[in-house]
């Protein structure tokens, strides 16, 4: 009779344990599933080799046409605006490229939970 009660108690506790585990939800995996990596070097290389030369050529044509018309003040103003714009774009690309190093510098080598 004691053995029957112990077997019944063991079955009940196993059943309760299984029920609690089902209620608790899925068990998290020990390591997260890696997501696809973004080829940042390829993106930056494409921008530098394809986009920037086209933009500079268009800007150069605009400057030459304005200078030929005698509008030197507009050329100088536009040149200054273009150089400031290029500086902002370069700064943005630098922040994009070195953001992890900047975060590690400010927060330490392993930020996060």
Alpha-carbon distances, residue 45 vs 7, 35, 66, 85, 97 (angstroms): 70, 22, 31, 19, 12
Please, what is the end-to-end C-alpha distance for the chain in angstroms? 53
pLDDT in tens, 56-84: 888 888 888 888 888 788 888 888 888 89
pLDDT at 11: 58
Q: Report the pLDDT averaged over residues 25-52.
A: 75
If one counts every other C-beta atom within 10 angstroms of the C-beta of residue 40, the result is 11
pLDDT at 22: 55
pLDDT band at 17 (very low <50, low <70, confident <90, very high): low
């Amino acid at each position: 009779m004691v053995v029957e009660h112990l077997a019944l108690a063991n079955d009940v506790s196993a059943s309760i344990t299984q029920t609690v585990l089902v209620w608790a939800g899925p068990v998290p995996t020990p390591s997260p599933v890696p997501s696809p990596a973004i080829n940042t070097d390829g993106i930056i290389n494409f921008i530098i080799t394809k986009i920037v030369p086209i933009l500079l050529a268009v800007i150069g044509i605009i400057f030459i046409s304005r200078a030929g018309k005698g509008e030197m003040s507009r050329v100088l103003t536009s040149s200054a605006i273009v150089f400031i714009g290029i500086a902002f774009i370069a700064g943005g690309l630098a922040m994009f490229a070195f953001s992890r190093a900047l975060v590690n510098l400010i927060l330490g080598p392993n930020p996060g939970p």
